[in-house]
Amino acid sequence: MTIRDTTAYRHAIIQKKIINLDSGDGRHVMCSWDTCESDGFELYKIRVNTAAPGAEPRHMNYVFCSERHKQYWLNNVRPGSNNNLPPGYRGHL
């Protein structure tokens, strides 16, 4: 088994870009992080229920280009996180 965050580990992960079928021209869906214009991958997708408690569920999918952008977004929407990355991601640039 390869060590995490090595080149061999990153190349072993299969990433599929998400295609917007509603656009008609097969464009890729962009990363949901505000300042990023990279394509989003199926590997970093989050499904969120945006309905009020007790109401019919309304699910929204958010896709990201990397685990780092996904973690930024998750910690940005949670109250009390102060937009910080979790402990395992703070040292990476």
Contact, 10 vs 2, CB < 8 A? no
Residue 3, pLDDT score: 66
Rounded to 10 degrees, the C-alpha dihedral 31/71/35/83 comes to 150
Whole-number Å distance between alpha carbons of 85 and 49 = 22
Q: Is 8 a member of any domain? A: no
Residue 81, pLDDT score: 63
Q: Is 5 a member of any domain? A: no
Nearest to 66 by CA among 23, 26, 27, 37: 37
Q: What is the pLDDT of residues 39-78, one digit of tens each?
A: 999 889 999 888 888 899 999 999 999 888 888 888 777 6
State the residue range of the domain holding 30: 14-89
Neighbours of 36 (CB within 10 A): 15
Number of domains observed in the structure of the chain: 1
- Residue 16 dihedral angles phi and psi, to the nearest 5°: -110, 125
Residue 12, pLDDT score: 67
pTM to 2 decimals?
0.70
Q: What is the pLDDT of residues 27-38, one digit of tens each?
A: 888 998 888 899
